[in-house]
Amino acid sequence: MDIESVPFEPWYRAEHPRLLASMAVVVRDVEVAREITAEAFARALERWERVGGMESPDGWTYRVALNLARRRARRATLERRLLLRAAPPPVAVAAPAIEVWEAVTALPPRMRTAVALRYLGGLTEAEVAESMGVAAGTVAATLHEARRRLASLLAPEEVSHG
Amino acid sequence: MAELDDLGGRLSVLARVFRGDGPPPRAELERRLQQRRGRRRAITGLGGVAAAVAVVAGAVALTGGTPGETTVRMAAPTGTRGDASVSSPAAAPPGGPIVVDVFTVAERRWELLAVSPAPATVCLFLRTTGREEQRAGCWDEPVRAAEGVAVDVDSFTYVTGVLSKDVISIAFRPDEVQSRIHDVGLPVNLFGAPVRPAVDALTALVTLRNGTQHDVAFTLPAHGRVASVDGEPVRPATTAPTRPTTTAAATTPLPTRPPTRPPTGPADPAPTTTVPPSTGRPQRVEVVPGATNLRKQVFESAVPFGAQSVLVTFWDGIEPCSVLGRVDVAEGGPAVTITIWTGSGPGAENQACIAIAQQKETVVALGAPLGDRVVPDGAR
């Protein structure tokens, strides 16, 4: 079945904050997330004739963004290892100073990626699985564990405020 | 411990924070694409220059061709693909990297080294008089295909190839390769020269299929090896290059053809970035007006300098691709918080950026002598 292509502009405006927030959680660096997000949307724009007709343009764009994030992380790690003297420590770019940011970005990489894509990106578990290249069951288990961990970090304070 | 039920709700706070940013206008995306197309044109125009080094999953093989030509034979003998040879750190030659080229510049002997710190990864870097220079380029694509990258160094092209396991199909297009090189965060670099994939080499690699075709040859109009560094012409070193200790390479001599100057002219349109001569000291820099894509950069040290300044040392890339864009100073109480911002300098959009790490320093003026005040890093 042919899927009618959606216009780029409104889709872009609607999706940008979600992808940016998701990538910020994934890479824990807002400036890097901005760069990755812009590049992912630029690629979507370049191929919009095809991407816009996909069942899930969001999923495609998140996959691209995740790949960009992975390559960036891999290269940074690699070059740090190779060039020890040239190894600047990870940059902690200013982040939203809210407890949920602290809690989510403290999760292990796979967990925070799943959380970001599911709850910030709004992808389905199946789309998260596809974007991350893992099985759907893995995503479900990962999210379950993430929620459990976050409960221990976030819930007590909520109680004390309540 | 129970799960957090309203995680979506809690996280929506974050989404709202970022919604306030607003997406960059569509024109910004189009400008980004335009820049990439410009780089692609530069690649298409590349031609005429090449010295070739093939590092193919442990097999290094170069053969001399007819005059004016070097045949780069990318040989992956059966059983040595993937991480079976130099692609594996465990199997790397003792003592580290393979020396793929040796030359002399300004009375200093230089070695171009290839090392594979991880499977399907090749890094090239320079070493002189026993110490490594901070000049390297790495290719670390996942093990999904044959990987071929040609990099242009001072108008000579080094061709590197990594043949991975489980190759199913390869569909490199120049633009994809180009974006691979440029979209990985740190720009790819190789001692001061733009990094440009050579279309010819990549096209040849496309013929590799399923890991079964392990002897692909292609030719490049070639000259020799490194012709100049930092503008200094090189001459062959008196010491022969160390042979790679791999099965295929052991029987194949490395090229000994004296370097010659490459042709220059319109066939090679991409701008050249140069590396400041190495002095052993950080490069003194000042804020470059008009720098874009600013981001915080952690500094290495901040020490008193003069009566009322601080000398801040940090690592950064090569200009104009990476420049000091801004310095924030917050003086309050017992601390002077300094934040270094680096970004792209004017003209960087027309450069094929290189990812050389370079130590820089800048003098930051204070409102009062530093005294006993500490200097926290605003980027941490």
With an 8 Å Cβ cutoff, are A17 and B315 in contact? no
Closest CA of chain A from B344, distance in Å: 13
pLDDT of residue B112: 54
* Mean pLDDT calculated for residue range A35-50: 89
Structure tokens that stand for B243 in this block? 């042979």
**For a pLDDT cut of 90, what percent of chain A falls above it?**
12
Instruction: For residue A155, name the pLDDT band (cuts at 50, 70, 90).
Output: low
Residue B240 has pLDDT above 60, yes or no: no
- Domains identified in chain A, total number: 2
Q: Predicted ipTM?
A: 0.70
- B297 neighbourhood in chain A, CB within 8 Å: 88, 91
Q: If you average pLDDT over every residue of chain B, what do you get?
A: 50
Considering only residues A74 and B332, tell me which one the structure prediction assigns the higher pLDDT: B332
Query: Which of residues A49, A64, A86 is at a domain's end?
Result: A86
Structural contact between residues B375 and B302, judged by C-beta atoms closer than 8 angstroms? yes
CA distances from A44 to A21, A40, A49, A50, B248 (A): 18, 6, 9, 9, 43
pLDDT for B289 beyond 60: yes
Is residue B117 within 8 Å of A81, Cβ to Cβ?
A: yes
N residues, chain A: 162
Residue A159 located in a structural domain: no
Q: In degrees, to the nearest 5, what angle opens at C-alpha B255 toward C-alphas B152 and B276?
A: 35
Contact A82/B380, CB-based, under 8 Å?
A: no
Instruction: pLDDT band for B255, please (50, 70, 90 cuts).
Output: very low
| Coil, strand or helix at B148 | strand
Whether residue B123 and residue A147 make contact (CB cut-off 8 A), yes or no, is no
pLDDT of residue B278: 41
Residue A139: inside a domain, yes or no?
yes
> Is the CB of B18 less than 8 angstroms away from the CB of A32?
no
* Range A60-92 burial, b when 16+ CB lie within 10 A, else e: bbbbbbbbbbbbbbbbbebbbebbeebebeebe
* A45/B33 touch (CB, cutoff 8 Å), yes or no: yes
Q: What six digits make up the tokens of A84?
A: 């020890």
Same domain flag for A80 and A102:
no
Starting at the edge strand found earlier in the chain, the sheet holding B358-365 runs: B283-284, B358-365, B309-316, B299-305
Of the ranges A21-30, B67-76, B316-325, the best mean pLDDT one: A21-30
Residue A20 sits in the same domain as residue A79: yes
Q: Name the residue in chain B with its Cα closest to that of A144.
A: B3
Asked if B71 and B63 touch (Cβ cutoff 8 Å), the reply is: yes
Query: For residues B60 and B252, is the Cβ–Cβ distance under 8 A?
Result: yes
Q: For residues A114 and A56, state if they share a domain.
A: no
- DSSP for residue B268: -
Q: What is the mean pLDDT of residues B114-123?
A: 50
Same domain for A82 and A7? yes
- A99 with A34, same domain? no
Q: Within this chain, do residues A12 and A59 fall inside the same structural domain, yes or no?
A: yes
What confidence score (pLDDT) does residue B36 get? 63
Q: Mean pLDDT throughout B81-110? A: 41
Same domain, A40 and A16: yes
In a domain, A162, yes or no: no
The whole-angstrom separation of Cα A108 and Cα A120 is 17
User: Do A61 and A109 reside in the same domain of the chain?
Assistant: no
Restricting to A residues 91-150, those with a Cβ less than 8 Å away from any Cβ of B are 91-94, 96, 98, 100-101, 104, 115, 119-120, 144, 146-148, 150
Quick check: B232 pLDDT over 60? Answer: no
Cβ(B267)–Cβ(B44) under 8 Å?
Answer: no
| Of B102 and A97, the one with more pLDDT | B102
Instruction: Examine the fold and report which residue of A86, A119, A139 is the final residue of a domain before the chain moves on.
Output: A86
CB contact under 8 A, A150 and B26: no
Binning pLDDT at 50, 70 and 90, where does residue A139 land?
very high
- pLDDT value of position A44: 92
Q: Give me the residues of A, 25-54, that contact B with CB < 8 A.
A: 25, 31-32, 34-35, 38-39, 41-43, 45-46
Helix (H) or strand (E) holding B126: strand B122-128
**Hey, is A143 helix, strand or coil?**
helix
Q: Does the reported pTM lie above 0.80?
A: no
CATH number at residue A134: 1.10.10.10
Residues A123 and B350: beta-carbon distance below 8 Å: no
Of A53-67, B40-54, B150-164, the range with the lowest mean pLDDT is: B40-54
- Ranges A26-40, A74-88, B13-27, B178-192, most confident: A26-40
Q: Does B15 or B233 have the greater pLDDT score? A: B15
List, as one string, the DSSP characters of B22-91.
-PPPHHHHHHHHHHHHHHHHHHHT--S------EETTEE-EEE-STTEEEEEEE--TT-SGGGSTTSGGG
Phi, psi of A144 (to 5 degrees): -60, -50
Using CA atoms, how far apart are residues B269 and B48, in angstroms rounded to an integer?
12
Q: Are residues A77 and A143 in the same domain?
A: no
Is residue A90's pLDDT more than 80? no
Do residue B15 and residue A154 have CB atoms under 8 angstroms apart? no
Interval B327-367: pLDDT, tens: 988 887 788 889 998 888 887 666 544 445 567 888 888 88
CB of B304 closer than 8 Å to CB of B370: yes
Q: Do residues A78 and A103 share a domain?
A: no
For testing contact with chain A, the best of B14, B132, B183 (most A CBs within 10 A): B14
Instruction: Count CA atoms closer than 13 A to A65's CA, side-chain side.
Output: 34
Between helices B26-44 and A8-27, what is the axis angle to 10°? 80
Q: Are B217 and B378 in contact (CB under 8 A)?
A: no
Summarize pLDDT for A113-134 with one digit per residue, the tens.
Answer: 999 898 888 888 988 988 888 8
Close Cβ partners of B250 (under 8 Å, ≥ 6 residues apart): B243, B244
Residues A73 and A9 both lie in one domain: yes
* φ and ψ at residue A22, rounded to 5 degrees: -65, -45
Query: Can you list the positions of beta strands (E) in B240-376?
Result: 283-284, 292-297, 299-305, 309-316, 323-332, 335-344, 358-365
Determine the Cα–Cα distance for residues B136 and B115; give it in Å rounded to an integer: 10
Which residues of chain A lie closer than 8 angstroms to B7, CB-CB?
115, 119, 146-147, 150
Give the pLDDT score at A42: 92
Position with higher pLDDT, B281 vs B258: B281
Looking at A19-23, B19-23, B211-215, B231-235, which range is the least confident one? B211-215
**At a CB cut-off of 8 Å and minimum separation 6, what does B19 contact?**
A17
By the 8 A CB rule, do B153 and B193 touch? yes
Tokens at A67, concatenated: 């790949």
* A7 CA: distance to closest CA in chain B (Å): 13
Q: How confident is the model at residue A141 (pLDDT cuts 50, 70, 90)?
A: very high
Q: What is the pLDDT of residue B378?
A: 86
Q: What is the pLDDT of residue B350?
A: 60
In a domain, A161, yes or no: no
Which chain B positions have a beta carbon within 8 Å of A94's beta carbon?
296
Last residue of a domain, one of A51, A86, A121: A86
Domain residues for the domain of A126 are 95-154
Whether residue A137 is contained in a domain is answered as yes
* A64 within a domain of the structure (yes/no): yes
* CA atoms of B45 and B284, how far apart (whole Å): 35
The answer to whether residues A54 and A128 belong to one domain is no
pLDDT for residue B153 is more than 90: no
From chain B, the residues in CB contact with A101 under 8 A are 14
DSSP state of A85: G
Highest mean pLDDT among A146-160, B38-52, B245-259: A146-160
The CA distance from B146 to B170, in Å, is: 7
- When scoring B183, B301, B315, B318 by the number of chain A Cβ atoms within 10 A, the one with the most, hence best to mutate, is B183
